Amino acid sequence: MENKNEITPITMDQFLPTVIRFKMEARRLAQICAVRTPEGFELSYSFCRGYDMETLRLVTATDEKVSSITQIYPCAFMQENEVAELFGVPIENITQDYKDKLYRIDREAPFKEKG
C-alpha cells in the first residue's frame, strides 16, 4: 500500500475551515514553510495522519493578512513566529506572539525581499 503525499492549492476562504476539518480528522501538523514569490508569499502547511501527508498551499499578497492556526494547533506558534519574523508574513492572532523577538537578527524580515 502506497503512502499518500499530496499538495492541495487552497484559497484564504477555504484555509481555516480545512484546518479545522484536519484537526477533527486527527491529523497532526508536521510543518509550516514560507517562500517569497514576486507577488507575495507561498505558504505550505503540511498535515499527517499515519504515513499520509497532505500539504495545503496558500498563496498570498505581500500585505495580505493570514489567520493564525494556533487556536486549532497550539504547536504552530513557533513556526508561525518564524514565518512572520523572517519573511514578514502578517500572521494575525498567534497565541504566543514573540513580536519579532524569536531570533537575534541584524535586519527586519531578511527573507521578505525577493533576491
**What are 11-39's pLDDT values in tens digits?**
999 999 999 999 999 999 999 999 999 99
Output the pLDDT for position 1. Answer: 64
Output the pLDDT for position 96. Answer: 87
Give the chain's residues under pLDDT 70.
1, 103, 106, 110, 114-115
Contact 91, 84 (CB under 8 A): yes
Output the pLDDT for position 74. Answer: 97
Dihedral of CA 83/89/91/94: which sign?
A: positive
Domains (ranges, CATH) in the chain?
Answer: 5-92 (3.30.460.80)
Output the pLDDT for position 52. Answer: 96
Output the pLDDT for position 112. Answer: 74
- Record the pTM: 0.89
Contact 67, 15 (CB under 8 A): yes
Output the pLDDT for position 113. Answer: 73
Angle (nearest 5°) at CA 103 between 83 and 97: 55
Output the pLDDT for position 13. Answer: 97
- Say how far apart CA 15 and CA 13 lie, in whole Å: 6
